[in-house]
Amino acid sequence: MSVRQNIVITGASSGLGEGMARRFAALGRSLALCARRTDRLTALAAELTKAHPGIRVVVSELDVNDHDRVFTVFDEFRAELGTIDRVIVNAGLGKGQPVGTGYFAANQQTMQTNLVAALAQCEAAMGCFRQQRAGHLVVVSSFSALRGMPGNLTAYAASKAGLSALADGIRVDTLPTAIRVTTLLPGYIESEMTGRAGRTPMLASADKGARALVRAIEREPAKAYVPSWPWAPLAVLVRMLPAGMLRRIGIR
């Protein structure tokens, strides 16, 4: 398997995106990082290039809900780096409230960001990969995509289930090619999103989570639960749980 040298990460200014950027930089990969908060991106790029002088790090401001700009930024990254070898669709939103309780705007924003904006990122990435006839598309879904979730997770889980199905379809469509597609289903990993959720059971540290994510991505599987323990065996249990028991579970 060839090394994926030039890697695009969306939502790279904090959380899982920042953690993956640090791990890939340590592996000697060049990075194209985008997010809304360019001050954080610029500081991260300076830190990474100082620590790893052999790599390139380019950054760009991007709100993934600005779909036209997604295509523009990806094209600019490709022009700067020569090729895009891997795209990690990581930008996402964890906002949400129970359906029918007057928070349509919050649920709509979650669906728009996690699914429609993710589609724009996948379209832009796959446009590059189809022209290059090679590449690795990685989508960061969620363990909650396994089935419908109650309460504040309903719209979030639905958006991530849609994203997983989207990635599955792209994977099937590109099976005869040199394009690979990976769906990541993280459990609880320390981030700004989990911090806002309050007390979180089975929480992996940000460093452990980033290491597990990068290890999974480097293997290029079709699907990976991250960290594999305890989330891979829990996946079997969650699929079989009676609906009533899901009210006691909150998994992002």
Distances 128 to 7, 30, 87 between C-alpha atoms, Å: 13, 17, 10
Q: Residue for token digits 């960061």? A: 140
3-state DSSP of 113-149:
HHHHHHHHHHHHHHHHHHHHCCEEEEEECCHHHHCCC
R_g over Cα of the chain: 17
Structure tokens at 200: 């979180």
- Among candidates 177, 164, 77, which has minimal Cα distance to 124? 77
> Has 103 been annotated as catalytic?
no
Q: Which residues are catalytic?
A: 156
